[in-house]
Amino acid sequence: MLDYARTYSEFIKSKEIEAINAGIDFDESELNKKLMPFQRDIVAWALHKGRAAIFSDCGTGKTIMQISFADLICRHTGGRALVLCPLSVAEQTKKESMKFGIDARICRQQSDVGDGINIANYEILNHFDAAAFNCVVLDESSILKSFTSSTRNELIDTFARTPYRLCCSATPAPNDFSELGNTVEFLGIMSRSEMLATYFIHDGSDTSKWRLKGYGVTKFWEFVAHWAVCVRSPSDLGYSNDAFKLPNLNLIEHIVASPPTDGYLVAMRAETLSERRTARKESMEKRVEEAKRLVSENDDQWIVWCDYNIESSALHKAIADSTEVVGSDAPAYKAESAIKFSEGDIRVIVSKPSIYGFGMNFQNCHNMIFCGISDSYEQFYQAVRRCWRYGQDKPVNVHIIISEAEMNVLDNIKRKQADMDTMQNNMVALMRDVTMSEIKRTTRITTDYKPSKRMEIPAWIA
């Protein structure tokens, strides 16, 4: 008699999608000895996959994991790797590589490329021939998040034939689960549209956004766990958290007065983009004065974030011992200033989250100011995590200076914070079992058995 229940279960099982393992075989002893246990197992898993993503929170060692991945790929295949990173992060990546005993070079053009690991910024991707590399690593791969972005399309098209690919980010999809489709497409697992059609439904009548199908939530995160690891701290994957404890984060709001809105006795909250820009312009002088006051209260190091050149110039002028870094500065100056600040040679640095807000390690500093904020939660989060990250041994003070009329912007950031916390909690919880199973299975596959005792066969068997 035909077992219909079992036949249907097998049919459903056949529809499940797993990322194909297209990595390398290697011995566990070849992994970098300075990797921590959870980092070592994640790198081993990624190498076995060949095309994978590491979504690991700030300070958990994404740099050493991605460099170790590229290093072993190069050593096993004899090929070359290209590590793409945000502006100003290249020097830091090279410095981290050297610290872990891995050679890497910074390149500005194809003629600079050599065997092994080559590091470059996203902004100069068109200076290189993708066919010259068999491995590519995207540092801060959330750059893929925008579906209409020319950068996103260029990255996917350029490396469509690259055998080994790794995406690394602390904020893989800061606004929307569906943004993971861009990472899926870059890794060559399936197209973004295929992923959306399989697991999502378009809520056109309400929010006009893609949302997970109710019955497919668990299946979606199981699918993600076959090609990505999501970890906020080692304990998320069953490892010890002893070396990974975050200090307190103190968010301190400074509300400066706004002039009364026309036709009202008090300042009304700005609603439109035009109103917000006007409110920000009107409050600039007061915000700069407040930032100056805070920085002068002690001799500690400070990061002062801003969004506009006019704010940057005013802050630099007001804060006597500050160093200003703007977008038009030469890459060498940006890199040099970042190193000097990280080594304590600069007390106050004034810059934008778009310049230093991604990828930089500034645990040497525990005070920062946002002299006004934008609606980009990802920029805010990443900028905060330059200092508030594993390895920081002091409470981190984040001062937000904003005008009364701009409070809607602050409320929007807080809402996005809550949304992202929920998303990350769900990602970790729903992926945990599959991820741990994937990592343990990979470890078994890639670790050779090394007998320590000679086996003696009993005489009766012989």
pLDDT digits (tens, 9 = 90+) for 308-334: 999 999 999 999 999 999 999 998 899
Query: With bands split at pLDDT 50, 70 and 90, how would you rate the model's confidence at 208?
Result: low
pLDDT at 303 over 90: yes
In this predicted structure, which of 29-38, 125-134, 169-178, 200-209 has the lowest mean pLDDT? 200-209
249: helix, strand or coil: strand
Per-residue confidence (pLDDT) for residue 448, from 0 to 100: 45
Q: What is the DSSP letter of 50?
A: S
Residues of the chain with CATH 3.40.50.300: 249-416
Q: Class of the 8-242 domain?
A: alpha beta
Per-residue confidence (pLDDT) for residue 462, from 0 to 100: 55
Query: With bands split at pLDDT 50, 70 and 90, how would you rate the model's confidence at 266?
Result: low
Q: Are 390 and 63 in contact (CB under 8 A)?
A: no
In this predicted structure, which of 69-78, 84-93, 136-145, 268-277 has the lowest mean pLDDT? 268-277
Per-residue confidence (pLDDT) for residue 388, from 0 to 100: 93
How would DSSP label each residue in 398-424?
Answer: EEEEEEGGGHHHHHHHHHHHHHHHHHH
What pLDDT digit, counting tens, does each position of 214-258 carry? 777 888 888 988 999 988 889 988 888 888 888 999 999 999 988
Q: Report in angstroms the alpha-carbon separations of 265 from 155, 259, 261.
A: 52, 9, 7
pLDDT at 444 over 50: no
How high is the mean pLDDT of the chain?
86
Cα–Cα distance between 66 and 53 in angstroms, integer? 10
Q: Give the long-range contacts of residues 29-37, CB within 8 A, separation 24 or more.
A: 30/72, 30/75, 31/68, 31/72, 32/64, 32/68, 32/71, 32/100, 32/101, 32/102, 34/64, 34/100, 34/101, 35/61, 35/64, 35/65, 35/68, 36/61, 36/234, 36/243, 37/234, 37/239, 37/240
Query: With bands split at pLDDT 50, 70 and 90, how would you rate the model's confidence at 438?
Result: confident
Is the CATH number 3.40.640.10 carried by domain 249-416?
no
Q: Specify the pairing of strand 396-403 against strand 249-256.
A: parallel
Question: Which residue type does 384 have?
Answer: V
pLDDT at 19 over 70: no
77-99 mean pLDDT: 91
Q: Report in angstroms the alpha-carbon separations of 288 from 23, 305, 397.
A: 52, 11, 18
Q: Are 146 and 152 in contact (CB under 8 A)?
A: yes
Residues of the chain with CATH 3.40.50.10810: 8-242
- Cα 235 to its chain centre, rounded Å, is 19
What pLDDT digit, counting tens, does each position of 340-364 carry? 999 999 999 999 998 998 888 999 9
Cα–Cα distance between 237 and 228 in angstroms, integer? 13
Query: With bands split at pLDDT 50, 70 and 90, how would you rate the model's confidence at 449?
Result: very low
366: helix, strand or coil: coil
Q: Are 132 and 113 in contact (CB under 8 A)?
A: yes
